[in-house]
Amino acid sequence: MIYLAAWHKDCLNTCMRIFWLLFFLLFATITNGQLLRDLAGLERAAQNMNLAIQYIETDTAISLNTHVFKTSKAPEHLVKIESKIQAKKYKKLEGKLLNIATENNSDFYSRRLLGDLFAAKNDETNARLWYEASIDASPHTWDSYFVLAQYFLELGDKESATRYALIAWIYNRNSEEVKDFIFEIQNEHDDVLIDWKFIPRAYSKIKGNTIIVSGNENWHAYALCQELWKQNEPATKKLKEIEASQFLLAENKECVLNLLNELEFAKVTPTGNDAHMVLGGQYALYQGYIDQFILFDIWLPQLPNIASQFTQEEVKKMMEYILYVR
């Protein structure tokens, strides 16, 4: 009976692993995944490995390399105009700014100053128009969204303020200022906005024809998956850009699914940061936001520049992830 029970348990575990594999293949088939470039994918994989080695071999606190984009500053030809707006000296400024803005369709800052000017004059319609024009002129400039979010909050429109602040957070993933702004609007517990630092607990290396995996055994499947996909890196060079993007997102998705599967079977209750990461990942999977989980909570903290590659539809999907999963 003991042998039969053990055999039954092994069969159950095998069946569950087959189910997860089939689930992943289905997920990969129906997802377009046109998000990440080859270089970003390889860089993230290398960072994963280095983090794991540091965590396991040195047993020290890991400080993630998180870049924060600075707030845009007025170009030289607009510094005086900005100072006059701040000093409430509005005479003739509207005409000057309109001339500058119409001469250069990509000059987002002159359009932002027009928004500031009309906001100072309590002209809500024109203020919103020019703040939005500033975004249209430079869609990946994070603080253009943040300026509009702050303006909406001044007007008492928390819903619009949250929407634009979320976009600012996606384009400047590591900004504490934006995160605190959203926190204040939503009045949520800090667990909602805490950064789920993805720190691998296992790593792999090649010795001869053998892959050696070291570290936490619950992370072995993740490390092995990373190594197996790493062997296919040269193949991505021959792929078109979109195909390489799909390849790399599929890589990360499979490895993360392996990790979530192993942790679930291990029946180990995660604590601290691991609890947020694991439970968040599982919930994101069940709700159909696993791609956004990987991008927002694994990739963007280390590679915030890749946000500039997202389409409007992808940004919208990530906003849904933050609101409904985070």
The H or E element that residue 207 is part of is: strand 202-207
pLDDT in tens, 5-61: 444 445 545 555 444 444 443 343 333 333 333 445 545 555 665 655 555 555 555
- Sign of the CA dihedral running 29, 284, 268, 259: positive
Residue 65's φ and ψ, nearest 5 degrees, are -80, 90
Task: Return the pLDDT at 297.
Answer: 86
In the chain, the amino acid numbered 174 is N
Task: Tell me how many helices (H) and strands (E) the chain has.
Answer: 15, 2
CA angle, 246 as apex, 240 and 248 as ends, to 5°?
100
The H or E element that residue 212 is part of is: strand 210-215
- Ordered by start, the domain boundaries in the chain are 2-64+197-324, 76-192
CATH code given to domain 76-192: 1.25.40.10
pLDDT in tens, 179-219: 889 888 877 545 555 667 777 777 777 878 787 888 778 78
Check: CB of residue 161 under 8 Å from CB of residue 149: yes
Other C-beta atoms within 10 Å of 137: how many? Answer: 19
Q: For residue 317, give Cα distances in angstroms to 13, 67, 292.
A: 33, 23, 7
Residue with tokens 């694994």: 298
